[in-house]
């Protein structure tokens, strides 16, 4: 492979990785890597695009701010773009930044240096002193209207005295560490899943449809910018923040005006020493040119200002000792080793365990029980072992080996080609608990009220032994269980009954077949139409499905080859669970056509527009290619529209789509 091909391949890989992790972070509020790791990927792509501009794609993630408005909230168009900042990771980059600013101005500059709160960015708009609209950043141009939820935050003024006719400010909603600890304590007591960190908890709390839930979460806000005003102006950013503080806003603390890179570095180190003692999480320091006229002179890049940067702290890493290694058995039978640690304070919380992933991870780092290891939190979320302190190792410590039998059921385990060690017993109790929990989850059969704690109760009480037993439960069976009661039992049984009609695609996903996610499950449902046809499908038939490879096909064939699977399917059918796929296809007017949606449509959400297309036999794709039949464009359509025009693909609007489908708004 020549250098150009290698570069293009790496740029494509980076785009896919960044888009995947952006969605986890901004939309799902469930990041799996650290900001530090994400930023490294992002700026590797930036560097390659600068060096090889001809290879940069039109819809590169470097050309936009991550995130988008969710359909459950009304959209808000931002009058002033809520952009992001360029990140730096070294002091050398700070010195370079200061030199660039001074060179651009032809003289020295004053900088406002402020902590970067780790939360959710929002805009607050006031008219004649009254809070009228509060919205999330979204994609920077369009956000979510969360006004009612923001009003529950006690530090947000609902009205202002002596305010201008129009004032829009930007701030960061966050969950103080004490609020986070109280929230997770309450959730643990109820048997609910815990939030990974305060940032995720804040984002999830602000997006609640019921503002009463938000009100009970103890959120706070720090205001850090004036977006726009009428009737009042300032010479500097700091002057504006001081004025906001006088109006009663909770303004970003620990800010300071500094003039040299040396002073800025000292400030970063000082805040870094205080970081773990603060009442809130920060992930860096923002350095901004303080003068507003100077900002105009310096200018902006396509998506970030030239007059500001954000220094990101590297993940905190501390030593501790591994006291034991325990094995967890997942729903697909994978045995995952977990290190039990001497408790250590890390990124604001106490860490007492860390995943070791698999035996290869352990062998690569030569991790042994009794070792002193260095631990950090990936993204201040997931504790991980970084390395072993070899000088502290004693001669009696022996290499760790995975067990040869499952710790849950005692059956033999095997090593597969994915470096995973698996239990070979499909009836393993540990797999069963996690499997039923997955079956009941929101994206699967969506059985409201059946979380891990309830599943455990039902299994321990002997009321269920498999998934099908859920549909045989009665109110009287469960009302006397711990923390249930008659009303909860009635609601649970109603939710179980409702899940019978979830549909074949959800059922396939809920069964927990290896390598089968939601998208693959729907493809299988569409391709085979009912569960019996799928169970009888050959590997060749499965590989023929678009985007299905041999590994996925083998996993499906293997799952349905077990006698227990056949018995389970028959039991589910006997209980009335829908095992056929109903497309609700009104006609086939779009048969053989591929549509791509871009921008914000006037009345339809993305899901609704996709449903219209699929209902009439068409296919909705996420990328424009020569095989695309139509591009449906809405407001603020971007690179997909440009690519369609370049390829000569017909572009239509929402009205035309509905007219072609024979449907009304």
Please tell me the chain's helix, strand, coil percentages from 3-state DSSP, rounded to the nearest 5.
40, 20, 40
Cβ atoms of 563 and 616 within 8 Å: the answer is: no
User: What is the SS3 string spanning 456-510?
Assistant: HHHHHCCCCCCHHHHHHCCHHHHCCCCCCHHHHHHHHHHHHHHHCCCCHHHHHHH
Distances (CA, A) of 540 to 512, 543, 549, 554, 566: 22, 5, 10, 10, 21
Q: 349-355 and 111-117 as β-strands: parallel, antiparallel, unpaired?
A: unpaired
Distances (CA, A) of 617 to 162, 521, 532: 59, 18, 23
Residue 218 in tokens: 């103890």
The crossing angle, in degrees rounded to 10, of helices 198-206 and 177-189 is: 80
Q: How far is CA 84 from the centre of its chain?
A: 18
The residues annotated as belonging to the active site are 116
Distance (Å, whole) CA 219 – CA 211: 12
> Coil, helix or strand for 373?
strand
Distances (CA, A) of 91 to 123, 258, 268, 548: 31, 15, 9, 47
Distance (Å, whole) CA 83 – CA 63: 11
C-alpha closest to that of 340 among 311, 361, 366, 367: 367
Cβ atoms of 470 and 577 within 8 Å: the answer is: no
Distances (CA, A) of 558 to 156, 330, 561, 589: 56, 18, 5, 37
Residue 381 in tokens: 């979320």
CA dihedral 441, 446, 449, 450 (to 10 degrees): -50
| DSSP designation for 305 | B
Distances (CA, A) of 12 to 52, 65, 626: 13, 18, 19
The edge-to-edge listing of strands for the beta sheet with 86-88 is 86-88, 308-312, 282-289, 111-117, 256-258
User: What is the SS3 string spanning 393-424?
Assistant: CCCCCCCCCCCCECCCCCCEEEECCCCCEEEC
Q: Which helix (H) or strand (E) holds 432?
A: helix 429-440
Residue labelled with tokens 């890390």:
346
> Coil, helix or strand for 410?
coil
Q: What are phi and psi of 221, to 5 degrees?
A: -145, 150
User: What is the SS3 string spanning 524-542?
Assistant: HHHHHCEHHHHHCCCHHHH
State the CB neighbour count (10 A cutoff) for residue 456.
14
Residue 374 in tokens: 């260095």
Residue 438 in tokens: 């997955």
The crossing angle, in degrees rounded to 10, of helices 91-105 and 261-274 is: 140
Residue 510 in tokens: 């809920």
């Amino acid at each position: 492979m020549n250098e150009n091909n290698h570069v293009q391949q790496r740029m494509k890989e980076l785009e896919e990785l960044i888009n995947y992790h952006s969605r986890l972070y901004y939309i799902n509020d469930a990041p799996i890597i650290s900001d530090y790791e994400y930023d490294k990927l992002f700026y590797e792509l930036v560097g390659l695009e600068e060096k090889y501009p001809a290879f940069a794609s039109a819809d590169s993630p470097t050309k936009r701010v991550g995130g988008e408005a969710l359909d459950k909230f009304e959209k808000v168009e931002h009058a002033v773009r809520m952009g992001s900042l360029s990140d730096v990771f070294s002091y050398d980059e700070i010195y370079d930044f200061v030199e660039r600013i001074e060179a651009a101005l032809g003289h020295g500059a004053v900088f406002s240096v402020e902590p970067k709160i780790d939360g959710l960015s929002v805009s607050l708009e006031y008219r004649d002193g009254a809070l009228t609209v509060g919205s999330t950043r979204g994609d920077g141009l369009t956000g979510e209207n969360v006004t009612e939820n923001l009003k529950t935050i006690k530090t947000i003024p609902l009205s202002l005295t002596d305010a201008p006719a129009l004032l829009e400010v930007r701030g960061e909603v966050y969950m103080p560490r004490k609020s986070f600890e109280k929230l997770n304590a309450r959730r643990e007591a109820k048997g609910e899943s815990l939030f990974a960190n305060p940032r995720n908890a804040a984002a999830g709390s602000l997006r609640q449809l019921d503002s009463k839930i938000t009100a009970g979460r103890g959120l706070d806000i720090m205001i850090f910018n004036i977006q726009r005003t009428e009737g009042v102006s300032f010479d500097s950013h700091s002057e504006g923040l001081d004025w906001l503080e006088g109006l009663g806003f909770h303004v970003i603390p620990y800010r300071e005006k500094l003039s040299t890179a040396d002073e800025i570095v000292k400030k970063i180190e000082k805040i870094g020493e205080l970081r773990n003692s603060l009442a809130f999480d920060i992930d860096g320091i923002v350095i901004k040119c303080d003068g507003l006229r100077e900002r105009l002179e310096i200018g902006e890049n396509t998506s970030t200002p030239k007059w500001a940067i954000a220094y990101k702290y590297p993940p905190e890493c501390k030593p501790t000792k591994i006291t034991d290694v325990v094995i967890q058995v997942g729903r697909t039978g994978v045995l995952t080793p977990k290190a039990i640690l001497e408790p250590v304070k890390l990124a604001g919380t106490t860490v007492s365990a860390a995943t070791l992933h698999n035996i290869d991870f352990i062998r690569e780092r030569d991790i042994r029980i009794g070792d002193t290891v260095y631990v950090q939190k990936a993204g201040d979320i997931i504790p991980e072992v970084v390395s072993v302190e070899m000088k502290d190792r004693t001669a009696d410590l022996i290499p760790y080996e995975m067990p040869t039998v499952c710790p849950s059921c005692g059956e033999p385990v095997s090593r597969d080609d994915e470096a995973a060690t698996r239990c070979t017993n499909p009836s393993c109790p540990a797999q069963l608990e996690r499997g039923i929990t997955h079956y009941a989850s929101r994206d699967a059969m969506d059985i409201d009220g059946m979380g891990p704690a309830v599943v455990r109760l039902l299994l321990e009480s002997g009321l269920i032994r498999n998934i099908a037993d859920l549909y045989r439960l009665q109110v009287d069976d469960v009302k006397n269980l711990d923390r249930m009661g008659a009303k909860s039992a009635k609601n649970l049984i109603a939710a179980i009954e409702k899940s019978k009609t979830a549909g074949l695609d959800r059922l396939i996903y809920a069964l927990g077949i290896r390598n089968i996610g939601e998208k693959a499950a729907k493809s299988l449902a569409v391709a085979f139409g009912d569960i019996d046809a799928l169970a009888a499908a050959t590997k060749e038939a499965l590989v023929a499905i678009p985007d299905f490879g041999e590994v996925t096909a083998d996993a499906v064939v293997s799952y349905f080859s077990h006698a227990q699977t056949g018995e389970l399917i028959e039991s589910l059918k006997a209980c009335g669970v829908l095992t056929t796929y109903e497309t609700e296809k009104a006609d086939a007017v779009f048969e053989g056509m591929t549509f791509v949606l871009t921008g914000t449509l006037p009345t339809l959400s993305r899901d609704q527009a996709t449903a219209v297309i699929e209902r009439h036999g068409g296919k909705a794709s996420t990328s424009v290619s020569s095989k695309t039949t139509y591009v449906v464009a809405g407001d603020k359509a971007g690179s997909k529209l440009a690519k369609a025009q370049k390829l000569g693909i017909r572009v239509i609007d929402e009205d035309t789509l509905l007219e072609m489908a024979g449907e009304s708004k």
